[in-house]
Amino acid sequence: MKKIRIPVSGYRENVADTDLGPQSPITEQLKGRLPWIYLNTATALFASWVISNFEWLIAQVAILAAFQSVVAGLGGNTASQNVAMIVRSLALGKITSKLIWRIMGRQILVGLLQGIAIGVVIGFAVTIWRGDPYLGLILGLAMVGNMIVASIVGTAVPLGLNALGQDPALASSVFVTAVTDSCGFFIFLSLAALFFNYLT
């Protein structure tokens, strides 16, 4: 695995160039990708464990199961957007150590605003569709929370992997999926448990 070292304003970024492509030897593809898939398997099981702690809730309010993937999926997509921006900026040498906290703060704000914008739309849509304003409120609040988490993780993970000399483009998705899924499920189901007596 070749490392491209890009010096930037007193800060040294290590953006890995894996050279992996669809025509790469099968052994090289397995060597580069399979460890991360194993890690993804472990994190997926962890997300399932999070859900299992709310079996009683889902058993009584079955409709919650239909909306879990909405919260986790949109959170994952938000994090993936952040990863793409950060990886591209690292490769172009646009990120310095002095900018990291400013970038993080800005992305958290973007995540908050995106969460509010999407949460309001989903909340109203679900309220009209299901006739349950509390379910709409739960989904809206969960969307805000998970998009903030997604923005933090989608920014911090590629920066952290890059600092460790790992390829952020190849490995980031495993970590951001794990966190956004687990946190999305936990936030959504915890809010549902909090408002349980009001759900219809």
Domain ranges of the chain: 2-198
- Please give the CATH number for the structural domain made up of 2-198: 1.10.357.20
Identity at 60, one-letter amino acid code: Q
How high is the mean pLDDT of the chain?
Answer: 83
Q: What is the pLDDT of residue 49?
A: 92
DSSP assignment, residue 2? E
pLDDT for residue 111 is more than 50:
yes
Residue whose C-alpha is closest to residue 138's, from 77, 68, 56: 68
Predicted pLDDT at 21:
62
Closest-CA residue to 170 (of 58, 50, 17, 42): 17
Q: Would you say the pTM of this structure is higher than 0.85?
A: no
119-150: pLDDT as tens digits: 999 999 999 998 999 999 999 999 999 999 99
Q: Please tell me the distance from the alpha carbon of residue 2 to that of residue 176, in angstroms, as a whole number.
A: 24
